[in-house]
């Protein structure tokens, strides 16, 4: 159960919130619970709209790797809502259940290439510890300046979402289940 109620979409008059809801509906096929709650303060709905636009903008990094990094962040923060959402997105992009399972053990996995392992290690260090010069140098050797910046900002933004979602008590909304069911006959 969420700790704060979401706004009723039919009662919204603020143009910023209406724009954020319309964009989220187009992007996700509905309005997420976190946006419904944050919409109580129109500035936050506008912020989420801008952040979503930035996240969805064309990236230098492979979009699957970017979402794997975001999923790693969500798992490290224990955000069930974001885990559900990101696992659903990744399944829809063709990532296997085995890859999702091994994400937490990426260093020892045979499913991930070294560049992916490096990005996931970098993610762990950003969230749980600190990135030292040696690791940052290794990332810069494997990723362009723009890709490195995208990694840093992706980890930071997903940390923001995970902290907000977890604190508000948001629960999974069935994104993973719907994505997994989409590949089954009769679904």
Topology annotation, domain 63-182? AhpD-like (1.20.1290)
User: Please, what is the angle between helix 15-28 and helix 42-56, to 10°?
Assistant: 40
Q: Please write the tens of the pLDDT for every residue from 27-40.
A: 888 898 999 999 99
Q: Please write the tens of the pLDDT for every residue from 37-79.
A: 999 999 999 998 898 888 878 889 999 999 999 999 999 999 9
Which whole number is the average pLDDT over 12-31?
A: 91
Cβ-based neighbour number of residue 70 at 10 Å: 25
In the predicted structure, residue 174 carries a pLDDT above the cut 70 = yes
Residue 177 CB-density burial (10 A; 0-12 exposed, 13-18 middle, 19+ buried) = middle
Round the CA-based radius of gyration of the chain to a whole number and report it. Answer: 17
Which whole number is the average pLDDT over 78-102?
A: 96
Which whole number is the average pLDDT over 105-127?
A: 97
In the predicted structure, residue 181 carries a pLDDT above the cut 90 = no
In the predicted structure, residue 183 carries a pLDDT above the cut 60 = no
In the predicted structure, residue 9 carries a pLDDT above the cut 90 = no
Domain borders along the chain are 9-56, 63-182
């Amino acid at each position: 159960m969420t700790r704060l109620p979401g706004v009723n979409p039919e009662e919204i008059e603020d143009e910023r919130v209406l724009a954020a809801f319309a964009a989220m509906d187009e992007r996700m096929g509905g309005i997420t619970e976190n946006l419904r709650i944050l919409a109580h303060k129109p500035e936050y709905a506008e912020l989420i709209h801008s952040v979503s636009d930035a996240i969805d903008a064309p990236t230098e990094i492979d979009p699957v790797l970017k979402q794997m990094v975001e999923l790693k962040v969500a798992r490290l923060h224990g955000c069930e809502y974001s885990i559900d959402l990101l696992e659903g997105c990744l399944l829809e992009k063709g990532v296997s259940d085995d890859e999702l399972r091994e994400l937490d053990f990426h260093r020892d996995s045979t499913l991930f290439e070294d560049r992916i392992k490096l990005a996931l290690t970098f993610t762990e260090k950003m969230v749980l510890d600190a990135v030292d010069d040696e690791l940052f140098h290794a990332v810069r050797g494997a990723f362009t300046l723009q890709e490195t910046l995208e990694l840093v900002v992706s980890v930071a933004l997903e940390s923001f979402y995970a902290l907000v979602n977890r604190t508000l008590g948001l629960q999974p909304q069935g994104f993973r289940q719907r994505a997994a069911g989409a590949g089954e006959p009769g679904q």
